[in-house]
Amino acid sequence: MHRTQIQNIMTNNKIIELDDAVVKFVGDSGDGMQVTGTLFSDTAALMGNDLATFPDYPAEIRAPHNTIAGVSGFQVHIGKRRIHTSGDNCDVLVAMNPASLKANLKWCKPNATLIIDNDIFDVSGCEKAGYASNPLTDNSLNGYKLYSLPISTLTKNFIEGKVGDVKLGMRTKNMFLLGIVYNLFGMDLKTAHHLIGKRFKKKASVAELNKEVISAGYQYAEEHNLFTEKFHVGPADLEKGAYRNITGNVATAWGLLAASEKSGRPLFLGSYPITPATEILMELAQHKSLGAKVFQAEDEIAGICSAIGASFSGSMACTTTSGPGLSLKSEAIGLAVITELPLIIVNVQRGGPSTGLPTKSEQSDLYQALYGRNGECPVIVIAASTAANCFYYAYMAAKFSLEHMTPVILLTDGYLGLGSQIFKIPKMSELPEIKPPIAEANDPDFKPYRRDNRLVRKWAIPGTIGLRHRVGGLEKLDIEGTVSTDPLNHQKMSEYRLQKVLKVADYMPEQDVYGEDSGDLLVVSWGGTQGAVRSSVKHMIKDGKKVSHAHFHYIMPLPKNTAAIFSRFKKIIVCELNMGQFVNYLRASLPEYKYEQYNKIQGLPFLVAELKAKYNQILEEK
């Protein structure tokens, strides 16, 4: 955060110009933290900031009141520079109760601004949170700018006489706090009123009360001259065009819809709810007007099997899941591989193994995506890296799957899926063509497993005259597609299936490198860690180090220029949120290079500082 201080002559208050700021709203589940954070981030977006958000909520729907287990949070990172992540540590923490303060203080920068409802910090509240004494009065927060305010009382005083049901009305205390935060950042209340009106479109009286309370919070801060230093984050220098805010899961759903429209193949989704992938299923269920057929199956296996059936009968078929669900789908993925049908499998990764950390994120399903099936069973593996580019990579996953008649696994993760980002709205006309190899009726040359020069077979859709044929899980005779147990045929078909996937590299974009294209250290990463790793490399370059960054989106096959890039660096380090899956894949794929690795498996993103420390250590080693 770079600061410039401007004296505001009118109020005698200082306004501190920030390049970026991380604000986190935390409270009890049910305190409305998601709504509060969303209003704040939407306002920032409308004021021209770039931003990324991340909701941080417990796995339990309503954990015991005012306990650490029940803490719900929403983090927003706004900037006048480009924002890649929801931010490491907070500049401002807004805490509604003791438990949420206790759980989140460790994520605050030194001297961070804390805005706290002290009405909830009574003896029992502090005890429930595990505080031996009241942190607001025991000087333990001396290293912070503490604003300890009786938010509940202030809200109650304001709404009494305005509403019949005061208890219900007290649910607006998050708005009182938000008004204070708007004042701190000099944000526009009119925008807030507009957004509140939209959110409570069907409940005019609720909308009105929320508007009044947010204004009251703002006025309270203003009249009491609460902040002698206020923050201002100017508009970001974004490319001209239309923008919107989007989460990774919604972007994934929309990317699939776009590919369906472009390819002319109706979308079929067969899925089973699972955290953190469910939003894709819910989103696609909203878009029947675009012809999307969404089948909520009885289990993960039925989800993928219905998708395979739909693919056989001519749909652009998808299934969406998270790690444990992908395990259940393994056998069926093999069926899609051997029947050589298009299928898009989205895995929104979470912490594993087993049920693991459902609401936390890691990159530990790469092996599963690459290898987790019986037999020689290659699939295309693609990974998105930001909430917004989930749209693009979902689209490309569908394109490669449809055009090359093979399953694709798209890896995202919980942070990407649930986090949001500013998204420059594309035009459909600008997206690349998608041309599935559909067999024509009565094609005299049609054979189920006849291949073109890309080794791709034709898609003969049931109902088409003159193309009756059978496919299935038993090995098929080359060209003819009848069942075959011939040893040499099996070898040939196994090689075809692999080469077909490897040849997709001819149609993929080349890998790019951030920074100089040669140097002392190449930092390699993939998937959702792009923002943190890119920031760490930027810092290194600023420090004068010869460090560059290659962030991979195409994993299987690897981009064709991968070896050429690796050969130009003295050292290579692969950073990932697992115990070394991509690095070992690279060791197997390109064994001529030596790879260092940095791994973290805590259900948490990388911190810039820890990455830099590792790079410096490697650069110093002889």
Partner 1 sequence: MAIENTIDKSNEELSKQDFVSDQMVKWCPGCGAHAILASVAKVFPEIGYKKENFCFVSGIGCSSRFPYYVNTYGFHGIHGRANPIATGVKVSNPHLSVWIATGDGDSMAIGGNHFIHIVRRNVDVNIMLFNNHIYGLTKGQYSPTTPMGSKTKTSPQGTIEQPFNTANLVMGAKGTFFARVVDTRPGLMTDVMYEAAKHDGTSVVEILQNCIIFADKTHEDITGKDVKDDNQLLLKHGEPMIFGKNKDKGIVYRDGALMAVTIGEDGFKLEDILVHDQYRYNPGLQRMLARMHPPKLPVALGVIRSVVAPTYDDLVEEQIEYAKANDPIKCVDDLLNSGDTWEL
Closest CA to 384 of 426, 344, 327: 344
Is residue 188 at the binding interface for partner 1, with CB under 8 A as the rule?
no
Binding mask 335-354 for partner 1 (x = CB under 8 A): x---x---------------
Contact window for partner 1 (CB under 8 A) among 457-465, 509-517, 551-559, 590-598: 457-465
CB 137 within 8 A of CB 104: no
Max Cα–Cα distance, the chain, nearest Å: 88
Q: Is 468 in the site for partner 1 (CB under 8 A)?
A: yes
Q: Could you say whether residue 489 binds partner 1 (CB under 8 A)?
A: no
User: What CA–CA distance (Å, rounded) separates 159 from 153?
Assistant: 10
Contact region with partner 1 (CB under 8 A), list: 200-208, 303-311, 514-522, 543-551? 303-311
Query: Is residue 79 near partner 1 by the rule CB under 8 A?
Result: no
User: What's the token pair of residue 207?
Assistant: 């909308």
Is 471 among the residues that bind partner 1 (CB under 8 A)? Answer: yes
Stretch that binds partner 1, among 139-147, 354-362, 464-472, 535-543 (CB under 8 A): 464-472
Site for partner 1 in 580-619 (CB under 8 A): none
Closest CB to partner 1 among residues 343, 540: 343
Element (H, E) at 609: helix 608-620
For position 207 contacting partner 1 by CB under 8 A, the verdict is no
CA dihedral 608, 612, 613, 618 (to 10 degrees): 150
Of 97-105, 207-215, 426-434, 610-618, the window that binds partner 1 (rule: CB under 8 A) is: 426-434
Give dist(CA 597, CA 618) in Å, integer: 10
Beta carbon nearer to partner 1, 477 or 573: 477
Closest CB 461 distance from partner 1, rounded Å? 8
Q: Encode 41-65 in three state secondary structure.
A: HHHHHHCCCEEEEEEECCCCCCCCC
Q: Which of 110, 161, 164, 241 binds partner 1 (CB under 8 A)?
A: 241
Give min distance, CB of 424 to partner 1, in A: 9
| 41 versus 562: smaller Cβ distance to partner 1 | 41
Would you say 40 or 227 has its CB closer to partner 1?
A: 40
Residues in the chain: 622
Q: Is 289 in the site for partner 1 (CB under 8 A)?
A: yes
- Quick one: which segment of 166-174, 311-319, 514-522, 534-542 binds partner 1 (CB under 8 A)? 311-319
* Strands of the 343-349 sheet, one edge to the other: 293-296, 267-271, 316-321, 343-349, 407-413, 380-383, 554-556
**Shortest reach from residue 309's CB to partner 1, in Å:** 3
| Nearer Cβ to partner 1 (203/288) | 288
Q: Is 439 in the site for partner 1 (CB under 8 A)?
A: no
> For residue 483, which phi and psi values (nearest 5 degrees)?
-65, 135
- Compute the distance between CA of residue 236 and CA of residue 81 in angstroms, rounded to an integer: 5
CB of 312 to partner 1, least distance (A): 5
**How far is the CA of 567 from the CAs of 17, 479, 548, in angstroms?**
43, 40, 13
Strand partners, 116: 95, 148
Which helix H or strand E contains 493, and what residues bound it? helix 487-502
Q: How many residues bind partner 1 (CB under 8 A)?
A: 71
In angstroms, the first-to-last Cα distance of the chain is 34
Question: What tokens appear for 39 in the block?
Answer: 């209003």
For 82, the 3-state DSSP assignment is coil
* Residue 356 one-letter amino acid: G
Give the nearest distance from C-beta 450 to partner 1 in angstroms.
17
d(CA 567, CA 549): 14
Q: Confirm or reject binding of residue 331 to partner 1 (CB under 8 A).
A: yes
Residue 65 identity (one-letter amino acid): H
By CB under 8 A, tell whether 167 contacts partner 1: no
Stretch that binds partner 1, among 122-130, 292-300, 499-507, 527-535 (CB under 8 A): 292-300
Interaction between residue 467 and partner 1 (CB under 8 A): yes
Q: Choose one: 157-165, 293-301, 494-502, 532-540; the region binding partner 1 (CB under 8 A).
A: 293-301
* Cis amide linkage into residue 98, ω under 30° from 0: no
Q: Which of 471, 508 has the CB closer to partner 1? A: 471
Residue type, 239: E
**3-state SS, residue 203:** coil
Task: For 363-381, give the DSSP string.
Answer: -TTHHHHHH-SSSS---EE
Question: Phi, psi at residue 517, to the nearest 5°?
Answer: -90, 10
Q: How far is the CB of 144 from partner 1 (least distance, A)?
A: 34
Q: Does 45 bind partner 1 (CB under 8 A)?
A: yes
Instruction: Decide if residue 527 touches partner 1 (CB under 8 A).
Output: no
Report the nearest approach of partner 1 to the CB of residue 513 (Å).
Answer: 29
Residue 190 interacts with partner 1 (CB under 8 A)? no
> Binding to partner 1 by residue 314, rule CB under 8 A?
yes
User: Should residue 242 be labelled a site residue for partner 1 when binding is judged by CB under 8 A?
Assistant: yes
Shortest separation between residue 299's beta carbon and partner 1, angstroms: 6
Residue 411 host element (H or E): strand 407-413
Q: Minimum distance between the CB of residue 437 and partner 1, rounded to whole angstroms?
A: 18
For residue 524, what is the enclosing H or E element?
A: strand 519-526
Q: Is 297 in the site for partner 1 (CB under 8 A)?
A: yes
Say whether residue 474 binds partner 1 (CB under 8 A). Answer: yes
